[in-house]
Amino acid sequence: MVSWLFLAVSLVGAAFTATAVFRLRLGPTLVPWFFAGWLTSEMALIHLVWQAGATVVFVALGALDAWPGWLGLLVTLVSWWGLLRVQRRAYAAADTFSQVLSDGLGGAWSLPAPRAPWSRLFRPFGYRAQGVERIRDLAYGEAGKRNLLDVYRSDARPEGCPVLLQIHGGAWTVGQKDQQGLPLMTHLAANGWVCVAPNYRLSPRATWPDHLIDVKRALAWIREHIEEYGGDPSLVVVTGGSAGGHLAAMVALTENDPRYQPGFEQVDTSVAACVPFYGVYDFLDRNGVRGPNALAPFVERFVMKSSPLVDHESWEAASPISLVHPDAPPFFVIHGTHDSLVYVEEARIFVDNLRHVSRNAVLYAELADTQHAFEMFHSERSSQAVQAVRAFVEAVREGKIARRSAGVRRTG
């Protein structure tokens, strides 16, 4: 009985490992594959520890007294090999980011390949950062709790700090300002930046472009009020992940567009740069990237509330890939090869289109074996992403961004 139970537990552990090693795109598996692969690829060492602990216990109980136990041990060893491979790929992200920065910013960049402290590796959701103050729930509009924002700044309260606008994701239907981007915001706030994280109206109650209007309204609040919190309203970088990546790109590509600034048309809504993580760039999926796993039915029902066949112009206007232009600000696009929810091919096509027209730098980092939402909590790879983004935004701050596009860097 113990041998069979050990085999069953070994197969469960191997299944988690498989979701981090392999990319699968079968419709019904997308969400569960994402969750399992996300938690495994970013916490491979934690999985290795629990699998090793379970193995020791089962062997001590006599699991190897029968053949199922030996089969379970073989499965476990293969699983450990896979987890070590995943962790090596996480370490290799430092090389990818270093090369992207070297190509895009000029010179020789070498990230220190920061190792997340053991306390963070085994406490990945511990977000408090020493020396960082969070000011909660400042109103920037009239939509109640959905028009509140948080400000992160150094306890030292310096003045004239550059500003990061962090937009949360959640498929335009869920999400909160205090759930995403925290490793990046706390790190930048501790190093001389002021970070702003707003809520915005969510679908299905909200209809596009309500989401974008709210984010731009938060940007208008920054222009008017951020000096009170030590920020420089003239230097704002926008970032976000998933739906937040889509909104970040939209903000960057629709500067000062009166359609999205009702009642505050005269406010400057340009940004100095954009850093979208695993964003959605094409509502229309015009290149057939998603195939049978199309996002359009969900977007039509809950977000746009119109058909792309009937209202094609609005769908085009909601797709960043349709809005690329020569004066787009510098971009640093980041995506993972194993993203189960937003396919990496969409990022590649967006970057290629943007590079064809933009006069500013377009950096692109494609990370091997990396899932959606990889930088939401502390891990080896998220630590490297934070360092890379900091290098990029500091270059923006110092005016060192070259007016040229970086070479493509893909790993895996």
Q: Is residue 53 part of a domain?
A: yes
Give the pLDDT confidence score for residue 115 in this predicted structure. Answer: 56
Mean pLDDT for 358-371 is: 96
pLDDT band (50, 70, 90) for residue 1: confident
pLDDT attached to residue 128: 74
User: Range with the lowest mean pLDDT among 114-118, 140-144, 231-235, 392-396?
Assistant: 114-118
Catalytic residue selected from 10, 203, 242, 340: 242
Identify whether 246 is a catalytic site residue. Answer: no
Tell me the mean pLDDT in the region 56-69.
Answer: 95
- pLDDT of 67 reads 94
Q: Do both 88 and 112 map to the same domain?
A: no
Catalytic residue among 103, 214, 339, 369: 339
Q: Give the closest residue to 270 by CA, choosing from 396, 125, 388.
A: 396
Judgement on whether residues 137 and 173 belong to the same structural domain of the protein: yes
Chain-centroid distance, C-alpha 2 = 42
In a domain, 260, yes or no: yes
Please name the amino acid found at residue 111: L
Q: Does residue 86 sit in the same domain as residue 204?
A: no
Shared domain for 63 and 123, answered yes or no, is: no
Cβ burial of 75 (10 Å; 0-12, 13-18, 19+) is: buried
Q: Catalytic: which of 372, 378, 379, 405?
A: 372
**Cα of 169 vs its chain's centroid, Å:** 8
Residue 102 included in any domain: no
Looking at the fold, whether 145 and 237 belong to one and the same domain comes out as: yes
Report yes or no on 396 lying in a domain: yes
Which 3-state string (H, E, C) describes 326-363? CCCCCEEEEEECCCCCCCHHHHHHHHHHHHHHCCCCEE
Taking the CA of residue 361 as centre, how many other CA atoms within 13 Å lie in the half-sphere pointing to its CB?
Answer: 25
What confidence tens digit (pLDDT) does each residue in 112-148 have? Answer: 655 555 556 667 777 677 799 999 999 999 989 999 9
**Same structural domain for residues 16 and 128?**
no
Is the confidence at residue 287, as pLDDT, over 60? yes
Q: Is residue 101 part of a domain?
A: no
H or E stretch including 197?
strand 194-198
What CATH code is carried by the domain that includes residue 197? Answer: 3.40.50.1820
Domain edge (last residue) among 64, 94, 124: 94
Burial bucket for residue 319 (CB in 10 Å: 0-12, 13-18, 19+): buried
Where do we find the tokens 């205090």?
A: 178
In a domain? residue 299: yes
Average pLDDT of 170-186? 96
- pLDDT at residue 130 in the model: 79
Out of 94, 118, 145, a domain closes at 94
Q: Are 64 and 131 in a shared domain? A: no
Two structure tokens written together for 376: 């939401």
Judgement on whether residues 203 and 83 belong to the same structural domain of the protein: no
User: What does the alpha-carbon distance between residue 238 and residue 244 come to, in Å, rounded to a whole number?
Assistant: 10
Instruction: Answer yes or no: is 226 within a domain.
Output: yes
Does 232 participate in catalysis according to the annotation? no
Out of 94, 118, 135, pick the residue that ends a domain.
94
pLDDT at 106 > cutoff 90: no
List the one residue out of 174, 61, 192 whose CA is nearest residue 132: 192
One domain, residues 20 and 117: no
Q: Are residues 233 and 283 in the same domain?
A: yes
Q: What is the predicted pLDDT for the residue at 411?
A: 44
**Does residue 205 form part of some domain?**
yes
The answer on 333 and 277 residing in a single domain is yes
The domain tally of the chain equals: 2
Q: Which domain holds residue 196?
A: 107-410
Same domain, 130 and 245: yes
Q: Where are the alpha helices (DSSP H) in 159-311?
A: 182-189, 210-225, 243-253, 296-298
Per the annotation, the verdict on 372 as an active-site residue is: yes
